[in-house]
Chain A
């Protein structure tokens, strides 16, 4: 609908016929009364008080009055005023007592001219008012559409879209609305966790609409007796669902501009549904790419880091299996090496499996109230072989409370940190295990006085498959710290590493500490 084309005359006459097209909703009779009054006033003024106005003045005065009446009350009262004025003009001028004697033709022409001009003025003013009204209502519709678009643009779930659609369409169209979306089997239905529809839905009709992508119900050729209209929500890629709308005033919905507005709204809803769908698709793609990357990482780690011990095992065992006699010492040595390599492989496989299990994202924590000192003791005992060549100190606070965590997993974290400390520091170094409690967290620390961390690598070492030094001879697949982080973060804690001011590295992690239960003796 453009604004620059003026109303055509046929339309003007139509507006005269339709009371609904009046600029004002006033009862028409008020306008007529005013028209009468205005005409009377001008007549009195002109004949009684200002006879010097003359013909021209009288004509212009009547014209002005008619224009004002048209502006205020619309074309019909104005035309009444004009007709009366023309009549009066003619009458007055034809009176024998008239001041000016004019030929009859001129009088008729003047009256006709007045009437015609008044009609044109009324027409122009009506057109202007109508256009102003249309512009106002278009602006209103645009605002409504904008408001809904803005709300829809922040929706992230189909349920939110359904909620927004219901509210907005109710406000703009005074209708009750339900959104039916397709499931995996292309069957449309109301969303499970949306509010139930406030009216009776004919699901088979909605399904037909979805399948045929055509509107049905009220105001269409398919089942027009229904009180509900079903519209397909057509988005650029495909139809995204069905909108069922039950207007409280069915006739109002039939009007062309309401239909067009409804179409604009449904297009927006369909677009929003499509956007949300593709956001979901993109997220899924992201997740599957991440798991693909991890799978590749694991495969390459397995092939690289397990090949070495496997080579050793195959070689050692084949040497042991040789029929020629080896010295007992040699046999013992080879057998010992087999055991060592096998244990190393076992540790690697354990790490890989743990990481894979933790990665799935469904770590089930067996949280119970634990004594922190006990976990430290357990970890030291479990890692005692790795720590044989190191000096161990403990610095545990005296009054540590009970803290809820998964004992097996947290002991694993402590063991990993202890074994790391032993691997990356020279024999004879001191490793200190500490535990302290603030009012919010329990903080464990494993610190050493070895060479410390490469500055800048404090974050990166917790990534999967990274190692402190690249291409080092120390065995390990680089998962230990990543596993620690996964476990700590699953508890809602934090793990970090820093270099100590006096040299050496310190690894700390926190676990949230809630108030422990009361204990009866």
Chain B
């Protein structure tokens, strides 16, 4: 199917199972997306090159290529957001894909509402050239983060964050809606030499939640993606 208008976002689905492709196509087209299908990794790369899609959905269990190789290949010349589909209990697989350049993941079996929500978040991020980083202010419920003045407050009362905590928060704000792996966060906040010390992340995240969340033990914004990393929800 050739996209008829430029305004219709196009999505490439790389998935070898026929029925999964079927329901994905049906739901995405019903939402106004233009869908292209590929059954194998190689075909997926060709579709990405020729169709120039706005997003790619990539299954990690492809018959011909390792999903990570597809991502690596793609990232050499293309910045399109990639959402990977992976099975349960394959945290290592998900983390490898995310560290390799994928933007998000969905665990099979998943429902269409979940998929659409993730999809829209990433399309929005990608399409607006200036993401949250261009905004002066970011809100997490009652908490206001003033990125220009580097101040955080709730109901006008300032909240003191350590430099590390502030750096963590702004990294997550820059990538709002997207999951960040432990490694990605550690590299951004502490630098490349600390990639193994994920407990640092957890402790500082706990402090951040205590300062910013209404119920730190059941966080609403600073959400844990167990085994993978963290995500800031809007």
Give the distance in Å from the alpha carbon of A402 to the alpha carbon of B205 in the complex.
13
Across the interface, do A408 and B202 meet the contact criterion of CB distance under 8 Å?
no
| B219 in contact with A517 (CB, 8 Å) | no
User: Among B31-39, B64-72, B221-229, which stretch is in contact with chain A?
Assistant: B221-229
Closest residue of chain A to B198, judged by CB?
A: A368
Specify which of A366, A368, A376, A392 lies most central, judged by the most chain B CB atoms within 10 Å of its CB. A368
Q: Within 8 Å CB of A354, what residues of B?
A: 89
Q: Which of B186-234 contact A (CB under 8 A)?
A: 198-200, 202-203, 205-206, 216-219, 223-224, 226-227
User: Number of contact residues on A: which range applies?
Assistant: 20 to 34
A407 adjacent to B226 (CB under 8 Å): yes
Question: Interface with B: A16-24, A377-385, A416-424, A469-477, which one?
Answer: A377-385
Give A378 to B88 CA distance when docked, in angstroms. Answer: 16
B206 near A374 with CB under 8 A, answer: yes
- Counted as pairs of residues, one from A and one from B, with CB atoms less than 8 Å apart, the total is 62
Interface flag for B156 (CB, 8 Å): no
Residues in B whose Cβ lies below 8 Å from that of A368: 198-199
Q: Could you say which residues of chain A place their CB within 8 Å of the CB of B164?
A: 521
Residues of A close to B111: CB separation below 8 A: 339
Question: In the bound complex, how far is the Cα of B111 from the Cα of A378, in angstroms?
Answer: 20
Min Cβ gap B102→A in Å is 19
| Contacting residue for A369 out of B202, B217, B218, CB 8 A | B202
Q: Are B202 and A370 in contact (CB under 8 A)?
A: yes
- Say whether, besides A373-B216, A373-B217, A381 and B223 are in contact (CB < 8 Å): yes
Q: Which residues on the B side are within 8 Å of A521 (C-beta)?
A: 162, 164
Q: Is residue B137 contacting chain A, with contact meaning CB distance below 8 A?
A: no
B residues within 8 A CB of A357?
Answer: 89
Q: Which residues of B contact A407 (CB under 8 A)?
A: 226-227
Flag if B227 contacts A396 (CB, 8 Å).
Answer: no
The answer to whether the Cβ of B134 comes within 8 Å of any Cβ in the partner chain is no
Within the complex, what minimum Cβ distance (angstroms) separates B148 from chain A?
A: 26
Within 8 A of B (CB), among A311-364: 339, 342-343, 346, 350, 354, 357
B103 at the interface (CB under 8 A from A): no
Chain A proximity of B162: nearest CB distance (Å): 8
A396-B217, A517-B199 as given contacts; A374 in contact with B224, CB under 8 Å: yes
A350 in contact with B88 (CB, 8 Å):
yes
A519 contacts partner chain B, Cβ-Cβ < 8 Å: yes
Say whether A411 faces chain B, with CB atoms less than 8 Å apart.
yes
Q: How near does chain B come to A446, taking the closest CB pair, in angstroms?
A: 14
Does A460 reach chain B (CB closer than 8 Å)? no
Q: How far is A394 from B217 in the complex, measured between Cα atoms in Å?
A: 8
- What is the bound-complex CA distance between A195 and B218, given in angstroms? 60
Q: Which of B35-67 contact A (CB under 8 A)?
A: none
Who on chain A is nearest to B111 by CB? A339
CA distance A369 to B205 in the complex (A): 13
A519-B217 contact in complex given A368-B198, A377-B224, A411-B226, C-beta closer than 8 Å: no
**Contact partners of A394 in chain B: CB under 8 A:** 217-218
Residues 125 to 170 of chain B near chain A (Cβ within 8 Å): 162, 164
Top 8 nearest A-B pairs (CB, nearest first) are: A369-B199, A408-B227, A371-B202, A378-B224, A378-B226, A371-B206, A373-B217, A377-B217
Q: Known A-B contacts: A368-B198, A407-B226, A519-B203. Give 15 more (CB < 8 A).
A: A350-B88, A354-B89, A366-B227, A371-B202, A371-B205, A377-B217, A377-B224, A378-B224, A402-B199, A402-B202, A407-B227, A516-B199, A519-B200, A521-B162, A521-B164
Q: Which residues of B contact A (CB under 8 A)?
A: 88-89, 91, 109, 111, 162, 164, 198-200, 202-203, 205-206, 216-219, 223-224, 226-227
Hey, which bits of chain A sit against chain B, CB under 8 A? 339, 342-343, 346, 350, 354, 357, 366, 368-371, 373-378, 380-382, 392, 394, 396, 402, 407-408, 411, 516-517, 519, 521
